[in-house]
Chains A and B, each alone.
Chain A
Amino acid sequence: MTSMPMLDVRDLRVEFPGRHGSVTALDGVSLTIAAGEILGVVGESGAGKSMTGLAVQGLLEPPGHIAGGEVWLDGRRIDTLSEREMQHVRGREIGAIFQDPLTSLNPLFSVGRQLIETIRLHLPLGRAEARQRAIALLAEVGIPGPEERVDHYPHQFSGGMRQRVVIALALAARPKLIIADEPTTALDVSIQAQITSLLRKLCKEHGTAVMLVTHDMGVIAETADRVAVMYAGRLVEIGPVADVIARPSHPYTRGLMGSIPTLGARVPRLQQIDGSMPRLDAIPKGCAFNPRCPHVMPRCQTERPELRPSGSGLSACWLNTQAQERAA
């Protein structure tokens, strides 16, 4: 991964001004995704996974806004673009897949109309050409009989099929980056695997970078190349998926892994992380995880750890720093 990353997020900070001062929803998030790479983003609800995706797309709900950092897409800075310019980035360069395929399609327009709308917004095609492309896209995402299905309405499709339509919409203009926010959470388990493998196949074929936001480590393990773990609006660990799963470096990641049931393995009791994630307006000083961490040290309560190399990835924990310092 020596080439320039497709998506480069640097020290991103998102704030929500409120009555009682500003709430920092994202704090110092830095990550990169290369072309053709799938980065999984995991964490508990409210850890800032979806927020990261929305911030990259410029779709933060006001009064939320990017308060610091930079977002670069294919060598171009996009967080400073105007709303009008962002309209051409969204859909054209960044495709989106939402969580619930039952609600993300407009119920009153046929899927063909929604596809053609997206295609013609971003590509210089006539109506007939756009329709041909819409049919080709439906075929590509594995919808049988696309010539007929193109004129059907969303309610005539099953959940899995609708998610395929949503993927077709995300792919409509061959974007450089796809942000998939919990794309399989609302689907049956049997359909989940189909959708993730479809996503993976299309991403590899077209060299599209994918940010796969999910709380499901299983999906990440099957689909992603690298994984970023988020906690309380901060990145705690990022690295190749096999390494992070096999040898999690951050105590929080270890806790996450320990709470996943495995088939075959006879574990007497699943591990759990005690307590819950802090509210964003009451993040503890130092490391945000320190009140729940089994290895907490005095330093963790005062100083915030930075992301440092650990194994093949990066991890933000004083334990690693300590180990490295000892080794040095």
Chain B
Amino acid sequence: MIVFLIKRLANAALVMLVVALMAFMIFRFVGDPIQLMVNEQTSQAERDALRERLGLNESVVMQYLRFVGNAVQGDFGISYRNQQEVMSLIAERFPATIELVLMATIISLVVGVPLGVITAIHRRKWYSEALQFVSIIGVSLPSFVIGILLILVFSVMLNIAPAFGRGDVVSIGWWTTGLLTPSGRAALILPSIALSFYQITLVMRLVRAEMLEVLRSDFIKFARARGVPAWRVHYSHALRNCLMPVVTMTAMNIGSLIAFALITETVFQWPGMGLLFIQAVTFVDIPVMAAYLCIVSFIFVALNTLVDITYALIDPRLRNSKA
């Protein structure tokens, strides 16, 4: 188990180093940073002094190592655009994105799992076929289209939910939450639905496929032969045996949801990390872009590693394979 753990963590660290290298390359090759930072009146001496101060005259390897060293300590430099610490900018936006992503995940599970069960049990009924069809649309519609449609219907035509922003937020330490105010909750509705749409269809299809598999197994037939009522066979005995892959997929997908959130956040002007990134791109704010890249990758890698380790904990066969 310990060997396995060390292997996985080393693997994760390696991936992060590569990502950091890519983020660093952006720094190096998207123009000269000094050029971007100073104005036209700056003398050559001043430029050299700045170059000296920022350590840009050192070797590439040294610069990379320093970049990694700083990044590990959460220091991604100063934003070119608003001269703030990149890390504090991101920390400010981080809660908004996380709340949005968690909400979308919850919605996708609450809606997707029952739909998957229903379409598996009544798989020949017309509504199952219809749901399967709709789910294909769900998979193929880009999330900005869904976002815009939701805004059109619920904000513009029906006027029942706000179309942009995050509403009022409450600060709890460094964390800000919109969940405690009515306007914050209302603002969360449309973006989280838009973001969860794709997830719902994924969860539904996965649960359906797993259910069909499990329903064929002997213990399901045996449960029926013991006189267990149908709903209980389906929702207790069968569903529980489907949940492993669903949990895995959900955990893994939190990473991609954060990446997807970029688009949804732009559509709904949601003040999260994605929106910050889009603004950074428009202003060539390289430190912010590099930091975003590193942090999103870190979340991805961390979730994947966690899932791998959880697998080993749950399935004894994976644990004992080294013996």
Which residues of chain A have a CB within 8 Å of any CB of chain B?
57, 59, 83, 87-92, 94-96, 98-100, 103-109, 117-118, 121-122, 166, 169-170, 172-173
Given contacts A87-B229, A98-B222, A104-B219, 8 further A-B contacts (CB under 8 A): A83-B230, A87-B227, A90-B225, A92-B227, A96-B225, A96-B226, A107-B241, A121-B228
In the complex the two chains form, what is the Cα distance from A99 to B240 in whole Å?
A: 23
Q: How far is the CB of A182 from chain B (nearest CB, A)?
A: 12
Is the C-beta of B218 less than 8 angstroms from some C-beta in chain A?
A: yes
Q: B226 is contacted by which of A90, A100, A103, A107 (Cβ under 8 Å)?
A: A90
A98 and B225 in contact (CB under 8 A), knowing A103-B218, A104-B218? yes
Q: Per-residue CB proximity of B221-254 to A under 8 Å, as 1/0? A: 1111111111000000100110000000000000
6 A-B pairs with the lowest CB-CB distances in the bound complex, closest first: A91-B227, A96-B225, A103-B218, A90-B227, A104-B222, A91-B226
Is the C-beta of B282 less than 8 angstroms from some C-beta in chain A?
A: no
A-B pairs with beta carbons under 8 Å apart, 25 shown? A57-B225, A59-B224, A59-B225, A83-B230, A87-B228, A91-B226, A92-B227, A95-B226, A96-B222, A96-B225, A96-B226, A98-B221, A100-B218, A103-B217, A103-B218, A104-B219, A106-B237, A106-B240, A109-B240, A118-B228, A121-B227, A121-B228, A122-B227, A169-B222, A173-B227
Q: In this complex, what residue of A is CB-closest to B241?
A: A108
B219 near A118: Cβ-Cβ < 8 Å: no
Q: In this complex, what residue of A is CB-closest to B229?
A: A87
For B228, list chain A residues within 8 Å (CB): 87, 91, 117-118, 121
Which residues of chain B have a CB within 8 Å of any CB of chain A?
217-219, 221-230, 237, 240-241
A106 near B219: Cβ-Cβ < 8 Å: yes
Q: In this complex, what residue of A is CB-closest to B224?
A: A59
For A59, list chain B residues within 8 Å (CB): 221, 224-225
Q: How far is the CB of B38 from chain A (nearest CB, A)?
A: 64
Q: In this complex, what residue of A is CB-closest to B220?
A: A106
Q: How far is the CB of B118 from chain A (nearest CB, A)?
A: 18
Counting residue pairs across A and B whose Cβ atoms lie within 8 Å, the total is: 67
Majority secondary structure, B binding face: helix
Q: In this complex, what residue of A is CB-closest to B244?
A: A108
Most chain A CB within 10 A, of B218, B221, B226, B241, is at B226
In the complex the two chains form, what is the Cα distance from A304 to B295 in whole Å?
A: 79
For B225, list chain A residues within 8 Å (CB): 57, 59, 90-91, 94, 96, 98
A98 near B226: Cβ-Cβ < 8 Å: no
Q: How far is the CB of B194 from chain A (nearest CB, A)?
A: 35
In the complex the two chains form, what is the Cα distance from A135 to B148 in whole Å?
A: 60
In the complex the two chains form, what is the Cα distance from A96 to B224 in whole Å?
A: 10
Q: How far is the CB of A300 from chain B (nearest CB, A)?
A: 38
Q: How far is the CB of A110 from chain B (nearest CB, A)?
A: 13
For B223, list chain A residues within 8 Å (CB): 106
Q: In this complex, what residue of B is CB-closest to A175?
A: B227
Most chain B CB within 10 A, of A89, A90, A166, is at A90
For B222, list chain A residues within 8 Å (CB): 96, 98, 104-105, 166, 169
Q: How far is the CB of B119 from chain A (nearest CB, A)?
A: 17
In the complex the two chains form, what is the Cα distance from A317 to B218 in whole Å?
A: 37
In the complex the two chains form, what is the Cα distance from A56 to B227 in whole Å?
A: 14
Q: In this complex, what residue of B is CB-closest to A181?
A: B225
For B226, list chain A residues within 8 Å (CB): 90-91, 95-96, 117-118, 121, 169-170, 172
Q: How far is the CB of B139 from chain A (nearest CB, A)?
A: 30
In the complex the two chains form, what is the Cα distance from A177 to B309 in whole Å?
A: 48
Q: In this complex, what residue of B is CB-closest to A100?
A: B218
In the complex the two chains form, what is the Cα distance from A70 to B87 in whole Å?
A: 77
Most chain A CB within 10 A, of B219, B223, B225, B241, is at B225
Most chain A CB within 10 A, of B227, B228, B241, is at B227
A118 and B227 in contact (CB under 8 A), knowing A106-B237, A107-B241? yes
In the complex the two chains form, what is the Cα distance from A91 to B228 in whole Å?
A: 8
B241 near A88: Cβ-Cβ < 8 Å: no
Q: In this complex, what residue of B is CB-closest to A179?
A: B225
In the complex the two chains form, what is the Cα distance from A284 to B239 in whole Å?
A: 45
Q: How far is the CB of B79 from chain A (nearest CB, A)?
A: 50
For A109, list chain B residues within 8 Å (CB): 237, 240
For B229, list chain A residues within 8 Å (CB): 87, 121
Q: How far is the CB of A128 from chain B (nearest CB, A)?
A: 21
For A108, list chain B residues within 8 Å (CB): 240-241
B224 near A98: Cβ-Cβ < 8 Å: no
For A173, list chain B residues within 8 Å (CB): 227
Q: How far is the CB of A290 from chain B (nearest CB, A)?
A: 35
Q: How far is the CB of B255 from chain A (nearest CB, A)?
A: 28
Q: How far is the CB of A294 from chain B (nearest CB, A)?
A: 39
In the complex the two chains form, what is the Cα distance from A225 to B209 in whole Å?
A: 45
A88 near B221: Cβ-Cβ < 8 Å: no
In the complex the two chains form, what is the Cα distance from A117 to B225 in whole Å?
A: 13
In the complex the two chains form, what is the Cα distance from A122 to B225 in whole Å?
A: 13
For A99, list chain B residues within 8 Å (CB): 218
B219 near A107: Cβ-Cβ < 8 Å: yes
A88 near B227: Cβ-Cβ < 8 Å: yes
For A83, list chain B residues within 8 Å (CB): 230
For A57, list chain B residues within 8 Å (CB): 225
Q: In this complex, what residue of A is CB-closest to B214?
A: A106
Most chain B CB within 10 A, of A98, A104, A172, is at A104
In the complex the two chains form, what is the Cα distance from A96 to B66 in whole Å?
A: 70
Q: How far is the CB of B121 from chain A (nearest CB, A)?
A: 13
For B219, list chain A residues within 8 Å (CB): 103-107
Q: In this complex, what residue of B is CB-closest to A166?
A: B222
